[in-house]
Structure 1
Amino acid sequence: MIPSFFIAHGAPSLAIKKNGYTRFLEEHFAGLPRPRAVVLFTAHWEASMQMISGVDQYGMIYDFRGFSPELYEMVYPAKGDVELAEEIADLYAKNGISCQIDDKRGIDHGAWVVLHLIYPAADIPVVAMSVNPTLSPEEQYEIGKILAPLKERDVLIMGSGGTVHNLSTLDWHKEEEAEQASADWANQFDKWLEIQLNNWNLDQLFRYEEKSSGGLVSVPTNEHFIPLFIAMGAGDQNRKARLLYRSYQYGTLSLSCWQFD
């Protein structure tokens, strides 16, 4: 059965950077079996109802400002999978989750930055998915768990976001990748998170705001954290978590990749 993944998408500039993290993503996914499709929950598509992309061909969304002009010229010509989108909608309907298929929205940088690095040929169909910040961690986990049967048919379920994502704390002059964050609270939170994920401690994880060290400042808003719970839920059957990579950009912006077998 194909694993699910949580991948930090970092800053948009990651799409044109060559560093340890980008090399890891390129090499790791090149060595994995090729999925027949990717279902990707992106932190940059927020909606009060679960939205499912049902387009044939994606347009580009450049949902950022102030970066290199090169980024605004990038094109990731991802194709959709309408049949898979309808299957996902049916799975959610059978499990009492309201959802809707969107046949117009393009692909945002939370999705195309990651996809550009792991599948540069853009030859694998993609179904982009929204996130709902108002749901509880338990509900986020269930959203991923419901899709787990798709993994048996070589569908890759992925969450794209970031475990430490507080833009107000970033040092924009410190772009180079580092193994440790520049702030103790960021390191403490990611280490706490690693312990809980390795032990699949849902009670602690679902109450991360009160149980963790550094959680409130590391996760000031939850839209980038939500995809972690979703990807984890898709791995509920075996409950095995593996940290494949972790570093930091701009001092405290986490670049991490988790695999859920």
Structure 2
Amino acid sequence: MFRGLSRFLRTNPVSVQRRMSHSSLDGKVAIVTASTDGIGLAAAQALGKRGAHVVVSSRRQANVDKAVALLKSQSIRVTGTTCNVGKGEDREKLVQLTVDQCGGIDILVSNAAVNPFFGNILDSTEDVWDKILSVNVKAAFLLTKLVSLLILQCLLGSVERSCCVSLQGLGPYCVSKTALLGLTRALAPELAHSNIRVNCVAPGIIKTRFSSATVIVFFFSCSSCGKTKTLIGEPEEIGGTIAFLCSDDASYITGETVTVTGGMSCRL
């Protein structure tokens, strides 16, 4: 799910930079896709509370308006727009709006994902695979490419991508998220010479509307072991990890996948 590009130097005087905490994102501009609910909204909140100007987006204007109002009520600098990341024109509009209204881009958190299928992976169709891979993998890469081309000369950053652990019934979705691990490893050395960091966030089972069916299934499968409360996380717990990876505290981390699973046993 989870992704960002952070600028190392803006026009701030060096003396101001030295007074800032390493974890501060004051003066940074952050795009967070699919950020009107769940992990995306939590990421926008975490980045905004650390000083970033966040640009939130969703396919529906009503959802954008609601998220913008919430973030403004929390004294977070925010701009909102509709965006379907599966459409090239929407990706370009998102980037151009951010540059025009905010003056640049420092952080990209590529959080948008779809899952139109639940069931035995052998029952999934070609259309299902085309939809999932187009949005969850290809769009994430193309948006990263679009943003990185604008900032190669002067930015230091990281790309956070969310990646679900493998669960029965979500085969194509989990394959698409696993592909993001490889994309992260491929992008990291390519962009390192431009001081752009690339990292991946792999959440466990997080309580969101998107994963509600998964949480229910997982609850019943784990209820006998008494560990359900420990293993199901909150969106804010992922948002904090994303904010850390976008900060200078993570300046020596790139090409990594950070698992945030509450102790759930998993292998990447």
Q: Same fold (TM over 0.5)?
A: no
TM value normalised by structure 1? 0.36
Structure with bigger RCO (C-alpha 8 Å, 6+ apart): 1
Which has the larger share of helix? 2
TM-score (norm 2): 0.35
Larger Rg: 2
